Amino acid sequence: KPLRLWGGRFEGAPSDALTRLSVSVQFDWRLAPYDLLASRAHARVLHRAGLLTQDELDRMLRALDDLDRACRSGEFRPTVADEDVHTALERGLLERLGSLGGKLRAGRSRNDQIATDLRLYLRDHVRTIVSRVVELETALINQAEQHADTPAPGMTHLQHAQPISFGHQLLAHVHALARDVDRFRDWDKRAAVCPLGSGALAGSSLPLDPAAVAAELGFDAPAPNSMDAVADRDFAAEFLFCAAMLGVHISRLGEEIVLWASQEFRWIEVDDAYATGSSIMPQKKNPDVAELARGKSGRLIGSLMSLLTTLKGLPLTYNRDLQEDKEPVFDAVDTLLLVLPAMAGMVATMRVNTARLEASAPDGFALATDLAELLVRRGVPFREAHEAVGHLVVYCQVNDKDFGDLTDEELAKVSPHFAADAAGLPEGTPSVRDVLSVRGALAARSAYGGTAPDRVREQVAALREIVDEQ
């Protein structure tokens, strides 16, 4: 007869349909190490409350250690008859201790246990996720350092806009990831509250010590309200938001890499170790890592929506709907731990086609703004300068020329402002040709936050410090 934690008041056995619907051990088993940690803390508290003798506590802790070992080695496994992780572990304890094993359940409920287990699991796994993010940040920073001086086309609307340092663009992704890490750190402050001691919903009549349990489990404080403690899943939803936001950032980076690796861009080549081929087209080399990163952001967003939808109509306190919190959370953790190392490896090993980037940086009249700003420095109102450069672009398009191909006569014909000897120019004022340099355009954007290579190198140093602290 399968062990159940709640048989006493029932005369009939549960139906197969109920059992199949109710069972969660197939996914909550991964909480076993955390449930055992919480059990050890609870056993100590029962002992201090005079509810376990010293000898009983010693035997209990030895049995919990042995069960932990047996779970890790695979020698103890949940069976289909175990409703959930708590049921399976109580069976393991009873197998080791006989009726003494039944004493551990005093003063706690699966409601405060599961809320505690999930917090412990997430706080632990968020640390791992953060170190994987740091690896991706580091890969991007290393590439950015290599390419602080590499001019590249900067885009808005996916159209050439202004030249930028390729390193500047790579670092833009690092700033987004650094905010994600910051969010996880900040999340942890609110997640560091311990529900154990709240019991089913109202606390316990036994003289437990929630503060001692919280401290032993590494939480900052015990939950101040037992009803909130068992009903609250903010920590899971907020984790899923942080995961989804990180997923979206990785997806946007992935999308750029897909573009950069295309024949049309040819900005980068993905290393063989991070590319895949085609079963029919022998020539293909596909950036699947970046595409999967982009694709998997969908599941992360879906997991957040799934949990929020589960929570939205629930009355206090615990409701069985809350069992649906775990799969989205686990899936988000698994997804990030798969995607992040692959992205870090791909970024670390990609080869950047610096010659092509530099050559295409001025394409699409990307220096037009620099020309307009030259006129502004000559005293022309920006509105007129904008107009004049616009006319110059049309002239070039009609005559199939680039800015650099224009003669002085042509420039002067489109607008007298472009003439080298425009009226009243002081000595040493730069000429049109002086500003038609991509490297000059980059160096000129030297204010804080700008794309000048010197500023990019400063950003590299600043971000390395930030990432070191993470």
> Which active-site residues does the annotation give?
157, 278
Q: Which of 110, 123, 160, 233 binds ligand ARG (CB under 6 A)?
A: 110
Output DSSP code: residue 192: -
> Which of 110-118, 327-335, 342-350, 389-397 is the region at the interface with ligand ARG (rule: CB under 6 A)?
110-118
> Angle of helix 166-191 relative to helix 234-260, nearest 10 degrees?
170
Considering only residues 323 to 352 of the shown chain, the ones binding ligand ARG according to CB under 6 A are: 323
Based on the shown chain and the rule CB under 6 A, indicate whether residue 150 belongs to the binding site for ligand ARG.
no
Using CB atoms within 10 A of its CB, is residue 79 exposed (0-12), middle (13-18) or buried (19+)? exposed
**Which residue, 35 or 180, has its beta carbon nearer to ligand ARG?**
35
Based on the shown chain and the rule CB under 6 A, indicate whether residue 24 belongs to the binding site for ligand ARG.
yes
Q: Count of CB atoms within 10 A of residue 165's CB?
A: 31
**Which residue, 200 or 393, has its beta carbon nearer to ligand ARG?**
200
Yes or no: say if 188 and 126 are a contact pair by the CB < 8 Å rule: yes
Q: Tell me how far, at minimum, the Cβ of 240 lies from ligand ARG, in Å.
A: 16
Q: Which of 52, 57, 104, 111 binds ligand ARG (CB under 6 A)?
A: 111
Considering only residues 112 to 131 of the shown chain, the ones binding ligand ARG according to CB under 6 A are: 114
Yes or no: say if 212 and 115 are a contact pair by the CB < 8 Å rule: no
Cα 158 versus chain centre, distance: 25
> Which of 106-114, 138-146, 347-355, 397-405 is the region at the interface with ligand ARG (rule: CB under 6 A)?
106-114
Q: Give CA–CA dist 67/50, Å, rounded.
A: 24
Q: Tell me how far, at minimum, the Cβ of 317 lies from ligand ARG, in Å.
A: 10
Work out the end-to-end distance of the chain between its first and last CA atoms, rounded to an integer number of angstroms. Answer: 51
Q: Residues for the chain: how many in total?
A: 470
> Which of 9-17, 109-117, 129-137, 244-252 is the region at the interface with ligand ARG (rule: CB under 6 A)?
109-117
**Which residue, 110 or 249, has its beta carbon nearer to ligand ARG?**
110
Q: Tell me how far, at minimum, the Cβ of 305 lies from ligand ARG, in Å.
A: 20
**E strand intervals along 309-369:** 351-352
Q: Tell me how far, at minimum, the Cβ of 150 lies from ligand ARG, in Å.
A: 52
Considering only residues 264 to 323 of the shown chain, the ones binding ligand ARG according to CB under 6 A are: 318, 320, 322-323
**Which residue, 37 or 322, has its beta carbon nearer to ligand ARG?**
322
Based on the shown chain and the rule CB under 6 A, indicate whether residue 84 belongs to the binding site for ligand ARG.
yes
Cα 179 versus chain centre, distance: 9
- Interface with ligand ARG: number of residues (CB under 6 A): 10
**Which residue, 320 or 351, has its beta carbon nearer to ligand ARG?**
320
Q: Tell me how far, at minimum, the Cβ of 291 lies from ligand ARG, in Å.
A: 34
**Helix, strand, coil distribution of the chain in percent, nearest 5:** 65, 5, 30
Q: Count of CB atoms within 10 A of residue 410's CB?
A: 15
Q: Tell me how far, at minimum, the Cβ of 141 lies from ligand ARG, in Å.
A: 41
> Which of 108-116, 330-338, 390-398, 453-461 is the region at the interface with ligand ARG (rule: CB under 6 A)?
108-116
Half-sphere exposure of 362 (CA within 13 A, CB side): 17
Reading the block at residue 104, the tokens are 């551990």
Based on the shown chain and the rule CB under 6 A, indicate whether residue 39 belongs to the binding site for ligand ARG.
no
Q: Tell me how far, at minimum, the Cβ of 30 lies from ligand ARG, in Å.
A: 12
Q: Give CA–CA dist 88/450, Å, rounded.
A: 58
Residue labelled with tokens 């080399």? 285
**Which residue, 110 or 123, has its beta carbon nearer to ligand ARG?**
110
Q: What are phi and psi of 156, to 5 degrees?
A: -130, 150
Q: Tell me how far, at minimum, the Cβ of 319 lies from ligand ARG, in Å.
A: 9
**Which residue, 41 or 114, has its beta carbon nearer to ligand ARG?**
114
Considering only residues 179 to 198 of the shown chain, the ones binding ligand ARG according to CB under 6 A are: none
* Residue 379, amino acid: G
**Which residue, 108 or 132, has its beta carbon nearer to ligand ARG?**
108
The secondary structure of 113-179 as a DSSP string is: HHHHHHHHHHHHHHHHHHHHHHHHHHHHHHHHHHTTT-EEEEEETTEEEEEEEHHHHHHHHHHHHHH
Based on the shown chain and the rule CB under 6 A, indicate whether residue 244 belongs to the binding site for ligand ARG.
no
Q: Applying CB under 6 A, which residues contact ligand ARG?
A: 24, 28, 84, 110-111, 114, 318, 320, 322-323
